[in-house]
Structure 1
Amino acid sequence: MNQAQTVTYAVEDGVALIAVNNPPVNALAAGVREGIMECVMRANADAEVDAIVLLGEGKNFIAGADIRRFGSVRPVSTRKSAATLEASDKPVVAAMHGYALGGGLEHALACHYRIASPDARLGLPEVNLGIIPAGGGTQRLTRIAGPAAALDVILSGRHVGAEEAQRLGIVDAIMDGTDLRTAAIRFARGVASRRPLPRARDSAQGIELTGAGATALDAARKSITKKSRHLKAPAYALECVEAALTRPFDEG
């Protein structure tokens, strides 16, 4: 399946619809990231487009990266798709259903707004594979939800339901009882003129190394020492979350 088939582009009611179509789980395989980037740039160059929606075809939003590519050398461009979403001059709405995991959730966190269907399951399960979220997830999730929630989600690798994700500030709205595509277009139309665009990299939610932030880090560090002392990924992930509290976004 080529790039043109794995990422499609359409415009409806002034909203560009960028759809990932890479069955069975819409993994970020070769060509998908590049396709997302090209579609975002196309939408920004189109005077008829006021807002953008990123969604997944089939049963899932984007269920992570293609693990068959782990350990291979990839072009630098494949690591820029999340940044391209975030840098869009027009608002980008992530419309999540089914699984939004790993790189899928990282792409959603890079969007300006996130909506979900009630069945959506979000997570950053990379630690279970012995790696850490490397697409900006440690930085954006910490800035959006705060260090305690970020450490819980990242170090456990668990899936978070839509309602909990909304309570944590990860999801802006849950679309119940309606077609997600239609709801996403309506939501995108509603935020099309809002400025400035809310970017996770600029969020200051819980960004401090004192008080609750320090307490969450200390508790996580003790837990890692007790339960995961022989594993590298949890300790590295904690360092990344701490960097989100102490360093500028790009350094983190």
Structure 2
Amino acid sequence: MRFIYKQPLWLSHAIIHVCCFFLLIFFFFFYPLILPLFHFANTTTPTTRTSKTSVMGLFLSRNLACKFIYPFLFSKRVSKDLFPKQLENMMSLVSPRTGRHLQRYDQGCRQVVGCIPYRYKNNGTKDKELEVLVISAQKGHGMQFPKGGWEIDESMEQAALRETVEEAGVIGSVESNLGKWYYKSKRQPIMHEGYMFPLLVKKELDNWPEMNTRKRRWMTVTEAKEICPYTWMKEALDVLVMRQNQLHSKKDVDMCRL
């Protein structure tokens, strides 16, 4: 009698899971590096396109990892900072966005978006313990907050986070808009329309795209207002401080009611 081997159902499922696992690992590590190659030959500005697709690949890979790979791979005994650390090292190889072909304009005004990265020293909640992160100007002197052009392929919040990651190398939660300001460009005879967002810093990257051209430094609100040359950024900082004071006052009132 001829013997017919039947593969157990559990073994088939195991093989499928292993294949899916390695497929996710492949996209997680190599998608940011492979994607730019498909665009390189069809663009007249390879550096710009490559940098943009690389950044998109990195963020997509991070999202895939957070939703699918982390829960499957890591137990309580394994550090959950393993893959993010590798991504941070890759971030140093990604060039920041360059060029103005995707830049947004509103009635001739270039639209600029920036962030005020902040934290509370020693995990406090008092105004005097509030610290903000400033960066050195790429051209010229002085310190400022991360900012850059808002482009047509991203939301305002995405632009604010992107500029902060590129220039300051920090990641966090982008909060509600602090306001809109108009200011004159120092290099061109045009007006800029600037928007600023607070960003509660959750992680500082060891490597980031502009780490070789900019310095970053934590300081108090008073120090930041003294060293920053931009009036509109100082006004945005005042709005942030006022908002935080109101928030903490409300929390104090709620605690008293309890």
Q: Which has the higher strand share?
A: 2
Larger Rg: 2
Same fold judged by TM-score > 0.5?
no
Q: TM-score, normalised by structure 1?
A: 0.30
